[in-house]
Amino acid sequence: MISPEEASQAGEETADELSALEIAMLIEAAAMLAKSSLEGVDVAREAAELQVTCFEQSRRAVNVAEALKSDVYGLLEENAAREAVTISATERQTAHIMEMTERLAQEAYKEALRGASEIAANMASDVRRQYFQMTRAAALQVSSGNMGRDRATTWAVTKLAERGVTAFETTTARGIRRTPVDVAMRQVIQEALMARLTKQTISIAELCGEDLVEVSSHGGARPSHAKWQGKVYSLSGKSEKYPPFYERCMARGGDSYDPVDGYGGYNCRHTIGIYREGYHRRWQDDPLVGKGYDNDEVYALQQRQRRYENDIRKLKRQKEVLEANGLDAKAVNVRIRGKQAQLRQLIAENDSVLSRERWREQTARAARRKAGTEGIVHLDKRAAHEVKHYDEVRLNRFQRAKAEYEARVLDDAANYINVGAQRKHIRGTYNYKDHTEKLRKKTGKKNIAPSYITISIEECERLVREFAGKGRMTMNSKGWDKKEICHSDRIIGYNVDENGNETPTRYFKIHYSVDKG
């Protein structure tokens, strides 16, 4: 079963790529604006050239398509694997499950790709429109005598970076609503994925003769969703113990589907998973019991947190565009620190229901730097040389890390289990209890617990010897960080989230000692 937190992050990789494209377009527009004469004829020509350039950037953004495929296929394949484990699927059933998953993933990918293409095209048009607006505003400042040309163009660049690029504009009763690029991309992927995720789980249940499903729960759910979340339901509606899923969770009354208050409706974060009688329940009817908050209060706090996170992203984008054009970003840095302080205070005051989600505060700059793609739009030869030099340094570091990794993992004599270090991952041991207490004290989360293994030390030893060198090495800024992530041939333990919910896992991490002896 995929958790709501995992589902909400679906599309993050794609949103990062589109955010990188957005910043590249803004940098291009800002560089052109800084050189503009602000004369009408020149502005019209510049705006047309800018739109063509931005459209070509979006058309050649192959990273977006690759990230999109990774987001879509990754989530559906992970859900299929977990559900197959839950029901102990046979080899034949597993083959059917994966075939169906491939079909659903293709559908979701094609739908989301159409949405991404539309967003990218809208971005190019919006940059052109904003370029017109900002140059006119700058020209007005100059003609009115309020500013000189240099100051006016700097002011316009700042405003352009602050506003960002719009994916969609919709007219509402309150006026025009502008949807940011990253938000729009997540919405597109959520719409493409969530319906398929539900269809996938129900299809697996029907294929394997399972009738029960468990619905997830979370604090801050809208009242109409809170009444059916966190419970077990019968798909067939024939169970005497559990209520019917479609009637209780998806119907308006009668058989008509409710697109707002029903499961899977607009902006619904809930997920379902196959449940077997007597199995451990993953969710509570009311996840806020004993926390001193009601749903409305948590919803308001979450919305406030989202606003702070959006503000931080906007300011970081503004800083990046200013710095790329050699402009002073000190004032923006002060505002970023101020917003981050407000966010930290909000979470500290409500830490039983809120937690820091740093991925929501990022503009993907760190990811692009790590991938060697930061600075794709170069303003001068020196910038291009710096990026090329960084790419060479990064490649050399990777090659050294890979050589060190291969030499270490192939040393069979050094690949043995440190039994003492494993005890903190075995439930019931003093080490695990001590590790749990320290983790809860550090995080302030009462239900959080370390992940734990369900296999013997001897089996751990076998896994290390069998899979060492076959996983994925992980790196830090200095090179290989002496760790490797591997995928076992069966369930080896459980991951535990901050709410105490457990998810079976096949993944494990090997920590290699620094000293081989």
CB burial string 145-174: b at 16+ within 10 A, e below: eebeeeebbbbbbbbbbebbbbbbeeeeee
The pTM of this model reads: 0.61
What is the mean pLDDT of the segment spanning 333-357?
A: 90
**pLDDT confidence bin for 214, thresholds 50/70/90:** very high
pLDDT beyond 90 at 342: yes
What is the mean pLDDT of the segment spanning 158-164?
A: 85
pLDDT beyond 70 at 366: no
pLDDT for 253 = 47
Greatest mean pLDDT among 12-16, 216-220, 235-239, 281-285:
235-239
Please state, rounded to an integer, the average pLDDT across all residues of the chain: 78
**pLDDT confidence bin for 274, thresholds 50/70/90:** very high
Q: How far apart are CA 339 and CA 342, in angstroms?
A: 5
Q: How far apart are CA 90 and CA 98, in angstroms?
A: 12
Partnered with residue 274 across adjacent β-strands are 213
SS3 sequence, 349-416? HCCCCCCCCHHHHCCCHHHHHHHCCCCCCCCCHHHHHHHHHHHHHHHHHHHHHHHHHHHHHCCHHHCC
Lowest-confidence segment of 54-58, 67-71, 444-448 by average pLDDT: 54-58
Q: DSSP labels for 57-99?
A: HHHT-HHHHHHHHHHHHHHHHHHHHHHHHHTT--HHHHHHHHH
Greatest mean pLDDT among 1-10, 58-67, 247-256, 440-449:
440-449
Are the beta carbons of 488 and 507 closer than 8 angstroms? yes
**Tokens linked to 215:** 């619905």
Compute, in degrees rounded to 10, the torsion defined by CA atoms 450, 358, 506, 494. 30
pLDDT for 374 = 44
Sign of the alpha-carbon dihedral angle for 15, 16, 18, 23: positive
Are the beta carbons of 131 and 29 closer than 8 angstroms? yes
Q: DSSP labels for 95-157?
A: HHHHHHHHHHHHHHHHHHHHHHHHHHHHHHHHHHHHHHHHHHHHHHHHHTTSS-HHHHHHHHH
pLDDT beyond 60 at 173: yes
Are the beta carbons of 472 and 514 closer than 8 angstroms? no
pLDDT for 340 = 92
Of the candidates 53, 63, 50, the one whose C-alpha atom is nearest the C-alpha of residue 18 is 63
SS3 at position 39:
coil
pLDDT for 387 = 41
Q: Which residue has the tokens 């004993």?
A: 290
pLDDT for 298 = 84
Backbone Cα Rg of the chain: 26
Q: Which has more pLDDT, 501 or 257?
A: 501
Task: Give me the phi and psi of 254, to 5 degrees please.
Answer: 90, -145
pLDDT beyond 50 at 158: yes
**pLDDT confidence bin for 477, thresholds 50/70/90:** low
Are the beta carbons of 245 and 210 closer than 8 angstroms? no
Q: Name the percent of the chain lying above pLDDT 90.
A: 11
At 105-120, the pLDDT tens digits run: 999 999 988 888 888 8
Are the beta carbons of 399 and 442 closer than 8 angstroms? no
At 382-405, the pLDDT tens digits run: 444 444 444 455 445 555 555 665
pLDDT beyond 50 at 376: no
At 276-319, the pLDDT tens digits run: 888 887 777 777 777 778 878 888 898 899 899 988 988 888 88
pLDDT for 211 = 93
What is the mean pLDDT of the segment spanning 84-108?
A: 88
Q: DSSP labels for 202-269?
A: HHHHHHTT--EEEE---TT--HHHHTTTT-EEESSS--SSS-BHIIIIIBSSTT-B-TTTSTT-TT--
pLDDT for 1 = 78
**Tokens linked to 168:** 């969609």
**pLDDT confidence bin for 230, thresholds 50/70/90:** confident
Lowest-confidence segment of 146-160, 331-345, 382-396 by average pLDDT: 382-396
DSSP code at position 425: G
